[in-house]
Structure 1
């Protein structure tokens, strides 16, 4: 899992995460990785529209975003 996150950060790629919070809630987050701190990493979360710190061990799945979704208004 950690290798996938590092690769996404090196290529400046967006990823979709399945993440389990400290309270046990599972969420899907689209993030852009910013910095790695060993067992944690910082990313911009497009779900919360803010920088967040995630625990690497709480990441259940990583899926690279192959194309950006466009919204028609």
Structure 2
């Protein structure tokens, strides 16, 4: 299963389950800024900061909003 389909629309909001490189699991809500080379740059609504996520560590994702105005 590829999760990259959720990130085609820059600005979409996605809920995801993510595993960090240290093996910690978190649930996050993100607003996608860009997708490139297997990484998603996003604004993490949970932490209030910009973050970079490795797509292969995204275990599940659900589209919340496809367009943010």
Higher strand share: 2
Q: CA deviation at 1:13?
A: 2.2
Runs of 4+, deviation exceeding 6 Å: none
Unmatched 5+ stretches in structure 2: none
Q: CA deviation at 1:58?
A: 0.3
Please tell me whether Structure 1 or Structure 2 has the larger radius of gyration of its CA atoms: 1
Contact 2:10-2:33 within 8 A present in 1 as well = no
Q: Relative contact order: is structure 1 or structure 2 higher (C-alpha 8 Å, sep ≥ 6)? A: 2
Query: What is residue 26 of structure 1 aligned with on the other side?
Result: 25
Higher helix share: 1
Normalising by structure 1, report the TM-score: 0.78
Quote the RMSD (CA, aligned, Å).
1.3
Normalising by structure 2, report the TM-score: 0.82
Q: CA deviation at 1:36?
A: 1.0
Counterparts of 2:23 and 2:55 in 1: how far apart (Å)? Answer: 15
Counterparts of 1:3 and 1:36 in 2: how far apart (Å)? Answer: 11
